[in-house]
Homo-oligomer: A and B are copies of this chain.
């Protein structure tokens, strides 16, 4: 498992590249709530932290040779962004049929995009890595990625040493593993609680059963929180089992109404995956320890039309249109 020293090393590497996000007092939502808005990072998500640290940690020749990943989401963009800054060529393998907007955004950052049939993503990535001498940087199943994301926890501990509860989103578990490592090392009495959509609740399931229980893609893809549709790996499961104090699941409607609330009352554009922690604070207080709470807002890459629809739904005081659709 990674240590607080690994997180400290990551903090040095990302200084001046990742934004040091502030803690925002969210007094309109709760008197003891602060938000950590990772939506303000260059690619709109915490992912840039791990990507930068992973690149900076490579031997110089490997960094110059280049890296490859097969994430089509925020991690791919974050790696492209990091590569551009540290001067490392980046290849992103995407499934044929991936949204053009994601493809273009990643390409605009200077990455080479290679489209392959969805089923061949992993094998083609491995082949390309071998052929071209590229290093594979996976989105979360990697010590440097976990240490990089852990800098979120380090900053929380530095900025609010009296924090009592930290709420962190759980998808593949890289962010939660890193944050739990940093916070528990620096403030052992603070509780670190994972939050995931009930419809992609593989981490809650795994932690309850004491063994890694990956869910089917079909099940996980029911949630609107597209950043949290991944399952834990052995590495992240080991960290979470050891260091997380609990896990809470939230409903689709709780997630979507919270997206609108965050825009209206804290002026943050949060994606559904970024809103889960505030949703847990609002709707599951009875499952959380009391006290000064920080909710990590993981990212802000939301379809503008979805955000517009949620703002209008809230105005009309009707349940968000998306809720029934994605949950049913």
Task: Identify the stretch in A202-210, A221-229, A305-313 within 8 Å (CB) of chain B at 4 or more residues.
Answer: A305-313
Nearest B residue to A42, CB-CB: B25
* Interface membership of chain A positions 275-310, coded 1 if the CB is closer than 8 angstroms to chain B and 0 otherwise: 000000000000000000000000011001101110
| Residue contact A304 to B263, C-beta cutoff 8 Å | yes
How many chain copies?
A: 2
What CA separation (Å) do A22 and B15 show in the bound complex?
13
Task: Identify the stretch in A114-122, A192-200, A264-272 within 8 Å (CB) of chain B at 4 or more residues.
Answer: A264-272
| Contact partners of A315 in chain B: CB under 8 A | 304-305, 308
Check if A21 is an interface residue, CB within 8 A of chain B: yes
Contact of A24 among B25, B40, B268, B269 (CB under 8 A): B40
Known interface pairs A269-B268, A308-B312, A315-B305; A22-B22 also in contact (CB < 8 Å): yes
Nearest B residue to A44, CB-CB: B267
| Residue contact B311 to A304, C-beta cutoff 8 Å | yes
Q: Nearest Cβ in chain B — how far from A34, in angstroms? A: 10
| Contact partners of A24 in chain B: CB under 8 A | 19, 40, 42
Q: How many residues of A contact B (CB 8 A)?
A: 31
Contact of A308 among B20, B270, B308 (CB under 8 A): B308
| Residue contact A300 to B267, C-beta cutoff 8 Å | yes
What CA separation (Å) do A44 and B28 show in the bound complex?
11
Check if A314 is an interface residue, CB within 8 A of chain B: yes
Q: Nearest Cβ in chain B — how far from A6, in angstroms? A: 24
What CA separation (Å) do A19 and B40 show in the bound complex?
15
Q: Nearest Cβ in chain B — how far from A178, in angstroms? A: 20
| Residue contact A267 to B40, C-beta cutoff 8 Å | yes
| Contact partners of A27 in chain B: CB under 8 A | 42
The 3 closest A-B pairs by CB, nearest first: A267-B300, A267-B269, A308-B311
Sampled A-B contacts (24; CB under 8 Å): A19-B22, A19-B24, A19-B25, A20-B22, A21-B22, A24-B40, A25-B42, A27-B42, A37-B40, A39-B267, A40-B266, A40-B267, A40-B268, A44-B267, A260-B304, A267-B269, A268-B269, A304-B311, A304-B314, A304-B315, A305-B311, A305-B312, A308-B308, A308-B315
Given A39-B267, A267-B269, A269-B269, 17 new contacts (CB under 8 A) = A19-B24, A19-B25, A21-B22, A22-B22, A24-B40, A263-B269, A263-B304, A264-B304, A267-B268, A268-B268, A268-B269, A304-B314, A305-B311, A305-B312, A305-B315, A308-B308, A308-B309
